[in-house]
Chain A
Amino acid sequence: MESRSTSPNRTFSVIVDGETVRDRHDPSEGAIRLDPSASYVEIRDAVSHELVATLPMMDPEDLVEGPWTTPLELPSGDRMTLTVEAKPAAGEDDLPELSLLVHHEPAEEVARATLMPSRRSVWPRRMLLALAAGVAMFLAYRAGSAVNEQRFNDLLSRYTWMVQERGFKEPLSVRFSVVGQRSLQLDVRVNSRIVSDVFVDWDDPSSPDPVGGTRVFPQPGVRGIEGPVPLAPVVHDYPEVGPPGLWREPRVRVVRQEVPDARWGSLTEEQLNPSTRVWVQPYGIVLDAPEPVLRIVAPKADDVVPSLVEVRLEMDAVAARVHFLGIDATDPSVYQELGSLPPPRPDERAATRIVDTARLGATGRFHLLVMSTSQIAAAAGATVPWHEIPLAAPFDMMELRHAGTIVSPVPGSVVPESGVDVVRAKVLLPGRYAVIAVRPRKEDRYWVQNGPLATSESAEFAVQVSYGGRDTYEVWLGITEDPHAFKAGDRLEDLGRVDAQGRPIYWVGPVEVSHP
């Protein structure tokens, strides 16, 4: 990578994960190789040891599409650009090679670059200056003609608008930038002919802004300026945080003039309400941070699921424990903890867990909710009142349903000495047929007890069951759309999952009973 540093005098210490890797690094020396597993990089002034910048490191995979560039405007007025680049790994199991390029411009150079017109813009600027000169002559003439003073001032104001901020063609510009380990800077330029007020809400719970934000425009001293106005930068310090950090969304709210200057066109909702997501970490701030992703990939919403459900998740930027909660349609105010997973590693993008939903969906439908939070301490099987669920934690939720339920016997029941008993059950899907099958543990086959029985949705029905000799038995409820799928007395090697037409057969159970 090319280095274009123009500051041979200022050198920096480069510290990776607390260890100094370069003591007096002159940016003109070129790129510095980085350990791909590094967590953060600190840049300090080599002489004063003052902290200049902290750069939290990304997952090397995120650098595949291109280098990661972080522009920094330092309080001294210097400008620094940190560029991290990855070269693909040599082998499949190797890590990519990372390099850091530090580009530094001292404040004087930044100022000079700002003042010097670029080659491309010389002619329009000359034309503008010529026009401004013409206007000035005209104003001088009008002033000399002793036109009334108010009119003169009005024209002067317009002239001032034309010569100031010549390059600023937008009605407003808003930019967030990281200027310190925990500091974020907001730079705003507005055209006062179209914008009346600007507010910022840093979304910092430790020092919250009022509802609607804190006003940053008009500022004292710029109230009377007409036209483009560059505002003094506003810097906000976020609190010190521990892992995994704090995700926030600082926002700007722009209020239009009641009668805006039509020359500047209209502003879109996005222009009026710009925001960015930041991830405040112990070592620094990530700007435009990825939004936490926690999504249930399987099952799908409205699926008919068995009691034991395999839940597959997609995750990103999720750092707290992942809880699986069930919400029964009969009482949505109580959430049942179904299980949890430990906090995912930073590179963990997927997870799977089997959860038992047998206690849910007695009337058919229930919700499965997955949430990443460190604020739920309930053990599996416990209940949590809804208002103790953190409202803002990342979550995903979907409605699922069970095909049916075995009302009796309940697990652990003892069947009568005669070995004949009744199974009571409900089918929770419309237009289905039901069969009951029992499986003696010693035989390892399923005995179908009845021909398919037409059922009504959610209506309880009973089937007489004959168990065999002394053994432990599993009781299953089969639900099918095919009235001829089974016959009483069938012996099944396994429980078929589809009928002859390929439609699903749902099996509910097992309920274990014993015949002692």
Chain B
Amino acid sequence: MIARWPVYAFALLTVTAAALAGEPAGKTPVAQVQSPKDGDRIPRKDQDLTCPEGHPCTKIYVDGRVEPGYWPFLAVAPVSAPGPRIWVQPPITGVKQDGRFTGMVYLGTEREGVGEKFNIFVLAHKDKGRLREGEILTAIPGDCVASEPVTVLRTR
């Protein structure tokens, strides 16, 4: 059986969403995840303070940036899930003047998620109430702009 890698599916969706939003190529993206970085192993040494030594690392803080006029929503998609599913994360409480923000995301539960890879991305929309924490999306909504996904590996 040959199947596409979910990462590429998300990348395709991202490109599609960007195209729908009329984002010109080469310009600063409307939304992006700034930290963690693609390929990071979670928890990162001395960075993920929400993950005390010896405990499962179920949640981390994420830094991102969004263009003025948009409101960010953080979303997480487990790479190994059978079929696309995107979980909307706790709401962002504030966005700085330059568009930077910080929010929290869950990477699995205490018993599930160790050794798994997760795609983290920002969904941007002009309506602050467009998405709600805990919503499960099976595709990126056509009216949202999605950032490039950042794939991380949860190691404990």
Contacts and interface: CB of A to CB of B under 8 A. Distances in A.
Contact of A386 (B80, B115, B116, B133): B133
Interface in A237-272: 247-249, 251, 253, 269-270
A344 to B, nearest CB: 16
Given A210-B39, A273-B8, A203 B80 contact: yes
Nearest to B76: A391
B100 interface: no
B5 A208 contact: no
B47 interface: no
B82 A394 contact: yes
A277 interface: yes
A383 to B, nearest CB: 12
The CB with the most chain A CB atoms within 10 A, among B5, B106, B109, B151, is that of B5
B45 interface: no
A335 B133 CA distance: 12
A375 B111 CA distance: 8
A332 B151 CA distance: 25
A204 B114 CA distance: 10
Contacts, number: 104
A387 B109 contact: yes
B112 interface: yes
A211 B3 contact: no
Nearest to B110: A388
Interface in B1-45: 1-5, 8, 38-41
A334 interface: yes
Nearest to A335: B134
A334 B134 contact: yes
B117 interface: yes
A168 B70 CA distance: 53
Interface in A358-407: 369, 375, 385-395, 397
Given A327-B134, A386-B87, A391-B87, A275 B112 contact: no
A269 B4 contact: yes
A270 B133 contact: no
A422 B4 CA distance: 60
A481 to B, nearest CB: 32
Interface residues on B, range: 35 or more
How would you classify the secondary structure of chain B's contact residues: helix, strand, loop or mixed? loop
B126 interface: no
Interface residues on A, range: 35 or more
A208 B153 contact: yes
B93 to A, nearest CB: 15
A78 interface: no
B92 interface: no
A389 B87 CA distance: 10
Interface in B108-140: 108-109, 111-118, 132-136, 138
B154 to A, nearest CB: 9
B1 A397 contact: no
Interface string A283-297: 000001001100000
A392 B39 contact: no
A221 interface: no
Contacts of B114: 205
A206 interface: yes
B78 interface: yes
A211 B133 contact: no
Nearest to B107: A391
B146 interface: no
Contacts of B4: 269-270, 273, 275
Interface in A302-361: 327, 331-335
Contacts of A203: 80
B76 A270 contact: no
Contacts of A397: 136, 138
A212 interface: yes
Contacts of B81: 391-392
A274 interface: yes
Given A391-B76, A392-B81, A211 B39 contact: yes
A173 interface: no
Nearest to B118: A391
B155 interface: yes
B86 to A, nearest CB: 10
B122 to A, nearest CB: 18
A213 B46 CA distance: 25
B85 A391 contact: yes
A333 B132 contact: yes
Contact of B78 (A207, A211, A387, A391): A391
A275 B5 contact: yes
A25 B38 CA distance: 53
Given A211-B151, A390-B109, A206 B115 contact: yes
A276 interface: yes
B129 to A, nearest CB: 12
Contacts of B152: 211
Contacts of A388: 109
A205 B109 contact: no
A291 B1 CA distance: 11
Contact of A391 (B59, B112, B155): B112
B134 A386 contact: yes
Nearest to B131: A332
Contacts of B138: 397
Contacts of B135: 332
B112 A292 contact: no
B117 A208 contact: yes
A386 B4 CA distance: 28
B45 to A, nearest CB: 16
Given A334-B134, A391-B108, 7 more contacts: A211-B152, A212-B39, A247-B82, A388-B109, A391-B87, A391-B109, A395-B85
Nearest first, the 7 closest Cβ-Cβ pairs linking A and B are A205-B115, A386-B134, A333-B134, A211-B39, A387-B106, A332-B134, A392-B81
9 contacts: A205-B115, A210-B41, A212-B39, A249-B3, A332-B88, A332-B133, A333-B134, A391-B109, A391-B113
